[in-house]
């Protein structure tokens, strides 16, 4: 569990849809945006333009995650440099948590580059990325569930293993499909979570709440007239 004094769970938006980022970034207390090659492909268009567009919306201080493409460590390091050149400071380079990736993470962390070991399906795989020097490790909760294993369980085990060995890495849980998965991990004190727009909105979507808010507005309209809030009444 999270110790007292730790910061609250970081929350990221997992999309490259610029209109959705613009809309949701205004509303929710978000810490940044995560992407992967699949997300960029789903959005379509020029990936460089899309990544630059995200940075423009969220500003230079928010954290942005972008993934390397090559499968060899040297290529990953080259891609990491290009990603940093494109997106500037406050960028975390996502590197698949595979053997070549562990090497790339080690090389990059020696150079002071912030990395996230991604595509994590098992606790020891994430642990290895953390030991190599990754700042974040990203277990894919729903994809693990879809294999018949326990995505929340893998993430909490990884969280506990990192804490038990005093590694500085943080678990960035990813690939969610429902509120329960996010809520279970939030309760466990997971360091960070990234949600697609529909999952993020689903965290607070509730027709009973909408009805209650509408009832308050109707009650007050009966008292003070339509369109009148406290600002209009007090002046
Ligand atoms: C994080 O950015 C991960 O790459 C992402 O959550 C994976 O999600 P998916 O399972 O929907 O592809």
- CATH 3.30.1490.20 holds for 10-204: no
What secondary structure letter does DSSP report for 137? E
What secondary structure letter does DSSP report for 174? B
Residue 167 makes CB contacts below 8 A (sequence gap 6+) with 127, 130, 131
38 close to ligand 1 (CB < 6 Angstrom): yes
Indicate the pTM of the whole model.
Answer: 0.94
Assign 7 a pLDDT band (cuts: 50, 70, 90): confident
State how far the Cα of 110 lies from the Cα of 106, in Å rounded to an integer. 6
Ligand 1 center to residue 111 CA distance, Å? Answer: 27
Catalytic residue among 4, 85, 94, 205: 94
Ligand 1 center to residue 145 CA distance, Å? Answer: 13
Give residue-wise pLDDT tens across range 132-167.
999 999 999 999 999 999 999 999 999 999 999 999
Largest CA distance in the chain: 69
Rg (alpha carbons) of the chain, rounded to whole number: 20
State how far the Cα of 205 lies from the Cα of 88, in Å rounded to an integer. 35
With a pLDDT cut of 90, the percent of the chain lying above it is: 97
């Amino acid at each position: 569990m999270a110790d007292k004094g730790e910061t609250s769970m970081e929350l990221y938006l997992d999309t490259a849809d610029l209109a959705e980022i613009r809309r949701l970034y205004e509303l929710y207390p978000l810490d940044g945006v995560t992407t992967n090659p699949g997300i960029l492909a789903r959005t379509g268009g020029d990936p460089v333009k899309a990544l630059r567009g995200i940075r423009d919306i969220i500003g230079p201080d928010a954290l942005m995650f972008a993934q390397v493409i090559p499968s060899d460590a040297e290529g990953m390091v080259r891609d990491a440099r290009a990603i940093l050149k494109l997106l500037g400071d406050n960028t975390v380079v996502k590197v698949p948590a595979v053997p070549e990736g562990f090497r790339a993470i080690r090389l990059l962390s020696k150079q002071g580059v912030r990395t996230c070991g991604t595509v994590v399906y098992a606790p020891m795989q994430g642990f290895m990325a953390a030991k190599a020097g990754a700042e974040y490790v990203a277990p894919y909760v729903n994809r693990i569930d879809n294999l018949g294993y326990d995505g929340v369980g893998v993430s909490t085990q990884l969280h506990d293993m990192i804490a038990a060995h005093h590694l500085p890495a943080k678990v960035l849980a990813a690939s969610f499909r429902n509120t329960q998965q996010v809520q279970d991990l939030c309760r466990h004190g997971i360091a960070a979570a990234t949600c697609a727009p529909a999952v993020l909105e689903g965290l607070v979507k509730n027709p009973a709440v909408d009805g209650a808010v509408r009832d308050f507005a109707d009650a007050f309209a009966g008292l003070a007239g339509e369109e009148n809030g406290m600002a209009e009444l007090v002046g």
